[in-house]
Structure 1
């Protein structure tokens, strides 16, 4: 059977398909992060195509990219869904993350003095003057995720790194809320710098204490912000893509 042709006139003239996919991706990601699309909301490719007035191909590309990043899931019969928020699972995943990252720090502290390109790159990002700090919340969220992933990857343990990345992907959608408030951005720079300095100075147990406190504070902030956003969104407008 021949493929069903896509509706004509959807793609704005002169705009390339990859640019369309990028635009839709950014728009949907912003809708999710701003809670205009709520955890658990369902929609179809057709809903998004109609709302954005483009063909389904770039919509599908954008949706699959968001799926890979952990923002969406897809269901065979009922379309796409914003990843639901499960507080119990959230707590369990954060607990697992703490175990993995503390184990990584202890391994790294045992190798004090050995060259490590990953740690050197983290120092270049986080041990900077206040005027050189990134201020965009989404960009800081990406750098924060990279900080924690690179700490684990620096151990050279591929299985530990793989499991940690899987945990990271599953909490990404809510973890990034931690950087929607300016004080949390500043605190992240200070806390990451303190962890790195302790590690590089050979104070391994101090680095572990700082890391645990840092993650616990982040977890508490994310939980608080998530509850506030959910309550405000459910009291306000309906889902934007439904």
Structure 2
């Protein structure tokens, strides 16, 4: 992989995993030292991340990790509401039995906190990849990875979060997909994303680093 891609992937991951929090300032020289590279690949990575609305260039001051607005978070989740059911539908129609059986690895979860975020992301990405549609899967994967930042910021504010309830929703979806039940699977994945919106948005609204307007 080219050096500039390594820097981009590392910096993007650090933002999405909230190692850099929304609102944090960043300097090219500091980032170059962090990733042990020259400033040029850092600058190129930051420009790519600006196009993804993850950072903002501040003239003569450097860069800032974009805050998360409630409206942008809502837009992202509703885009998932459009894309993920389409991926599930494509998987039911076109994926082999072996691919659908491969989802069985997500029927259980043993862990908490950060482990659950990793498990949840892997499950939703697996759904997207099962579609066999590379463009659709790529769009879904980007949305899922960006949604991780919302979850990481909100998770401390979500009271009584029941991971096993969410795993149960995953299991119901896997069952429907393996039965090739288009209607049932569509209902489950849509309800699952709707519940995510109802959990995450109020938690984000309580977080001090969230902004209300359309800043992104």
Contact 2:154-2:207 at 8 Å conserved across structures: no
Contact 1:72-1:82 at 8 Å conserved across structures: yes
Q: Secondary structure of 1:229's match?
A: coil
Aligned pair partner of 1:92 in 75, 78, 81:
75
**Any unmatched runs of 5+ in structure 1?**
1-21, 50-54, 235-242
Q: Secondary structure of 1:150's match?
A: helix
Encode CA deviations 1:141-163: one digit per residue, 9 max, x unaligned.
12212211221211111111122
Contact 1:135-1:185 at 8 Å conserved across structures: no
Encode CA deviations 1:34-81: one digit per residue, 9 max, x unaligned.
xxx4x33424367xx6xxxxx9622667x979x69x895263643232
- The higher relative CO (CA closer than 8 Å, separation ≥ 6) is in 2
Deviation >6 Å, runs of 4+: none
Alpha-carbon distance in 2 for matches of 1:153, 1:194: 19
Encode CA deviations 1:184-233: one digit per residue, 9 max, x unaligned.
422221111111112112322111111111111111211111122227x9
Aligned pair partner of 1:110 in 78, 81, 93:
93
Aligned pair partner of 1:58 in 31, 34, 52:
34
Aligned pair partner of 1:223 in 195, 201, 204:
201
Structure whose alpha-carbon radius of gyration is higher: 1
Change (3 A) 1:186 1:81: farther
Change (3 A) 1:103 1:29: closer
Alpha-carbon distance in 2 for matches of 1:31, 1:159: 29
1:207 counterpart residue number: 185
Q: Secondary structure of 2:97's match?
A: coil
Alpha-carbon distance in 1 for matches of 2:55, 2:36: 13
CA root-mean-square deviation: 3.6
1:127 counterpart residue number: 107
Shift of 1:29: 5.0
**Any unmatched runs of 5+ in structure 2?**
1-9, 212-216
Contact 1:45-1:60 at 8 Å conserved across structures: no
